[in-house]
Structure 1
Amino acid sequence: MKLHALALAAVLALANAPAQASTYAVSYNTISNFGLTFSGPGTLSPFTFSTSVAAQGVLSDTNFGTNDAPAACVGTFCSAFNNSFAAHGSGSDYAYGDALIGSGNVLAGTGSASSIGEISAGPAGFASGSNSMVASFLLSAPGTVSFAFNALPYMQVAGAGNAFTTMTIAISDALGHQVFSWAPDGVTGSGITGGTETSDSHNLNFGIASGVTYNPSAGSFAATTGSLAGGAYTLNISMTNQVTAVPEPETWAMLLVGVGLVALRARRKVQSESI
């Protein structure tokens, strides 16, 4: 009983410890003026969706939406943050994730989307927002597809945590073979296969750790596929912004002590019952 009581006390101490906002992390990106053009006759049938996730301790919130995922929020501080894609700063413990596809009209060059993950956390926390556009298109004759958009990314981590941002575009043929892949990395001509990159202002596919802030100005991005044979294709455009708090060493130690004592008691109980 003493071992069980000690183990339970250790686990409860972890669960009920006073909130310590030891980590603040945020990652967001806003895409605007997204355009897609065909070099010849082409048709596009898109499907767009967004996802938001927030988690802290044993609480979590996940939302899905066709174009606008309702904000995922854990903690009262973020209760009014829906579609608020900016750094809100550290406050009482919270986790906030959100995503929005403002316009899927990429053929008119007016496509737009935003996503964010943000936490101000004690022992642990996680948040993310993501948008995807899955589209089928048909080329009646050989041709190319060109993409152009603007992006305004931002990331910051203070304390034990990390932040990530991703933005990718891929095209697969009717057999599922990927014929084009583009992940802007801030270096023109790099991060692309099956095409040519003409503008790549910033890295949109990387992560940062504690003490780092990534705050570039708005940038422009453009690329064109190589020649594609006539036929059916699938286009996948996706973006994600994610943050994670890393538990402090003393938090891990308390948890391991509790779990270890519970395991020890269970083993002794099994041994006594087998005698």
Structure 2
Amino acid sequence: MKLAQLKLLPAAAALAMLCAAGNAQAGAYGYSYDNIFGLVITNPTGSITVASSSNISRGTATLNGASVIQGGSGIVDTPQAALGAVTKGENDFTQQGASGTYSRGDSQIVSTQFPSFPPGAASTQAVNVAEAHLDSAGSADASGRNGSNTGFSVNFVVGSPSATLSFNFQAHPFMQVFLNSDIGIGSSSTANLVFSFTITDAAGNTMFNWAPDGVVGSGIMGGTETADGADLNTNLSTNFLTRGNLATYDPMGCGTPTGTGVGTACGSFYAALTNPLLAGSYTLTLNAVESVDLVKVLAVPEPGTLALLGLGLAGLCYARRRKITV
């Protein structure tokens, strides 16, 4: 074909084809969930008296610079913290999914055995979720967080001469992250899990810390771990290089949470025993946080799109040149 025979597109048509070829909707998605259930804390040796206890359930959400925080001291079931196009209600821990622009965090202490440690006490259960998705053009960031650094806090006194605490529970962790294939460089999606027990003495010294990491005997200080079914202190992430692939963390194969997320049919087992604690006052803290952090950058036009833009500009220049020479 000769150059004179080439029909160059008007600017409007070139821009229309540009918009059709380049997708400006670049999505980032993250989901983090954990169901801790069957938690029983007992004192197999020695005498322990509970002085006081408190529960905190907290949900937070951040979206494009705006943020909301729900919950605080004494809250067992926090109202859902949500921003954007959220369709899930409070205590609905199922996935909303990769649609719309939103951020949500929700947490619930379903049951608690505190403030006492009797053998055979009712078990504790806590369910947490964080989920966010970005679907609008341009640059954006979002995060959904729940839990708190003092999910359960118990002050207790050990009688003379010493005593130990025993921890037993099950957990169903689940995370997913995803970036659309047309996402821009610099985009990322990360889901995070944090879970630990800590015992400090009256002077603030850490006497026991247990952060299950999926390896028996690892992630513990001041005690002995006998069961560690899966890592509860980890993250799942994807970025520009791994875009277009849904990444899932489901170590026990329990599947995606459904309904209220408080089921107890599937989970991994965890157990640990503290070293003897000398007589004195102590504080036990359970820290449980699920979060997602997203950054979405507008996708760069593909080579074919750039070629169309070039043709459109060339058409404008050619038309202008013909008008001048006529």
- Cα deviation per residue 1:45-92 (whole Å; 9 max; x = unaligned)? 3211011111111332210141111001112333x4211123221111
Aligned counterpart, 1:53: 60
Rounded to whole Å, the distance in 2 between the matches of 1:35 and 1:19 is: 51
Work out the CA distance in 2 between the residues paired with 1:183 and 1:121. Answer: 31
Give the 3-state SS of the residue equivalent to 2:91 in structure 1. Answer: coil
SS of alignment partner, residue 86 of structure 2? helix
For 2:129, the aligned partner's letter is: I
- Map of 2:228 onto structure 1: 200
Q: CA RMSD in A?
A: 1.8
- When structure 1 is superposed on structure 2, of 150-159 and 82-91 the one drifting more is 82-91
Between the aligned partners of 1:186 and 1:125, the Cα distance in structure 2 is: 29
When Rg is computed on C-alpha atoms for both structures, the one with the higher figure is 2
The answer on 1:169 being equivalent to 2:197 is yes
Of residues 208, 233, 237, the one that matches 1:180 is 208
Unaligned runs of 5+ in 1: 1-17, 252-275
Deviation, 1:250, is: 5.9
Shift of 1:43: 1.7
Aligned partner (choices 76, 81, 96) of residue 89 of structure 2: 81
Choose the corresponding residue for 1:35, options 32, 40, 48.
40
- Would you say 1:92 and 2:104 are equivalent positions? no
Alpha-carbon distance in 1 for matches of 2:24, 2:36: 35
**37-46 vs 224-233, greater mean Cα deviation:** 37-46
Counterpart-to-counterpart distance in 1, 2:296 and 2:90: 27
Normalising by structure 1, report the TM-score. 0.80
Q: 1:229 to 1:63 in 2, by over 3 A?
A: same
> How many angstroms apart in 1 are the aligned matches of 2:221 and 2:25?
45
Instruction: Give the counterpart of 1:130 among 143, 147, 171.
Output: 147
Residue 70 of structure 1 aligns to which amino acid in structure 2? P
Question: CA shift at 1:40, angstroms?
Answer: 2.2
Question: Which of 106-115 and 182-191 deviates more?
Answer: 106-115
- The secondary structure found in structure 1 opposite 2:286 is strand
What's 2:289 paired with?
240
Match for residue 69 of structure 1 among 60, 78, 86: 78
Offset of 1:199 from its aligned partner?
0.5
Instruction: State the alpha-carbon separation in 1 of the partners of residues 251 and 71 from structure 2.
Output: 29
Instruction: Output the CA distance in 1 between the equivalents of 2:271 and 2:101.
Output: 39
CA distance in 1, matches of 2:66, 2:208: 40
SS in 2 for 1:68: coil
Q: CA separation of 1:20/1:61 partners in 2, compared to 1, >3 Å: closer, same or farther?
A: farther
Moved segments of 4+, more than 2 Å: 18-21
CA contact (8 A) 1:20 1:121 kept: no
In structure 2, which of residues 166, 170, 176 is the aligned counterpart of residue 146 of structure 1? 166
2: CA distance, partners of 1:178 / 1:19: 51
How far off is 1:181 after superposition? 0.4
Q: Report if the CA contact (8 A) 2:141-2:296 is conserved.
A: yes
Query: Cα–Cα, structure 1 residues 21 and 127, in superposed 2: closer, same or farther, change >3 Å?
Result: farther
Indicate the SS of the match to 1:187: coil
Q: Is the 8 A contact 1:20 1:93 kept in 2?
A: no
What is the number of equivalent residue pairs in this alignment?
Answer: 233
CA distance in 1, matches of 2:122, 2:197: 16
Aligned 1:189-228 pairs, distance under 5 A? 189-210=217-238, 211-217=246-252, 218-228=267-277
Counterpart position of 1:101: 109
Map Cα deviations across residues 91-130 of structure 1 (whole Å, 9 max, x no partner).
Answer: 1111110111111215314101011110111422110111
Match of 2:28 in 1: 23
What is the Cα deviation at residue 21 of structure 1?
5.7
Larger helix proportion, structure 1 or 2? Answer: 1
The answer as to whether partners of 2:86 and 2:104 remain within 8 angstroms in 1 is no
Contact 1:138/1:232 (8 A) holds in 2: yes
